[in-house]
Amino acid sequence: MNFISSTIRAAKDFLFATACFHCGAGLQNGEQRICGRCWSSLTGVGENDYTFKVLQDRFSEGKMVDELVTLYYFEKGKLLQSLAHSLKYEEVTSFGFELGKKLSGKLSGKNIDVIIPVPLNKRKERERGYNQSDYIAKGISSELNIPVLSNIVHRTKYTVTQTHLNAEQRKENIAEAFTVKKAELIRGKNILLVDDIITTGSTIQEVAKVLKDAGASTVLAGSVGLAKLGEDS
């Protein structure tokens, strides 16, 4: 990261110091960047919810992801959409760190040895200058004191954006797109695999597969957001 990029990112974070980033209301004592009302507007994910159960079933069938931990539903017009967009495209990386800290509350007590963020395509990372999942992972690490290994998994295949693909197309698009380097660092380890938003779970499962093939003991998938499914999906 060069000095100019670092300065721009710090300035963008500073702009949200006195007003809520999402609604513009003045922040109260103890509130940072986001007001309490906006945080409370987010819909939390319950383990008995339809979407959560569908993802858990997919992961169980694939036998690569051992557990799923997630925070909020990704809903249009809600705070999480704004945070995810600013984290990905507007370089407000502190949002990723804050979301990671919140996710850590649901991960406390889990058997985790290392944290691995889902890697971006190298072209995207060069254009963006960073991987948003790295900052979520660092936020988790800051609370749980678990090391982050960002250079273990690499994308070896360019993939088109998954946004407009269905579940089967996503699975085909991401197949054999990842490889593991320095497998000795994860052999026998319990891994937390971190992504920002999980939609169909195809990417998480593919990364988990290469981690298990490289000798990982367990893979826990963690995300701050989950794309909500309709019950007819």
User: How many structural domains comprise the chain?
Assistant: 2
Distance in angstroms (rounded) separating the CA atoms of residues 157 and 176:
8
213/154 same-domain check: yes
31/144 same-domain check: no
Does residue 196 sit in helix, strand or coil?
strand
Q: What is the pTM of this model?
A: 0.84
User: What percent of the chain lies above the pLDDT cut of 70?
Assistant: 80
pLDDT at 140 over 90: yes
Mean pLDDT in residue range 94-104: 93
86/14 same-domain check: no
130/176 same-domain check: yes
Tokens representing 76 are: 């249009």
53/5 same-domain check: no
Domain that holds residue 20: 1-41
pLDDT in tens, 100-125: 999 999 999 999 999 999 998 777 66
91/182 same-domain check: yes
Contact 69, 221 (CB under 8 A): yes
1/78 same-domain check: no
Whole-angstrom CA distances from 73 to 66, 83, 193, 215 are 21, 13, 18, 32
72/184 same-domain check: yes
Mean pLDDT in residue range 133-143: 96
151/199 same-domain check: yes
51/149 same-domain check: yes
103/201 same-domain check: yes
Whether residue 159 is contained in a domain is answered as yes
Whether residue 233 is contained in a domain is answered as no
Read off the CATH number of the domain in which 111 is found.
3.40.50.2020
Report the 10 Å Cβ neighbour count for 233.
Answer: 11
Question: Residues 6 or more apart from 197 whose CB is under 8 A from it?
Answer: 74, 84, 223, 224, 225, 226, 227
36/129 same-domain check: no
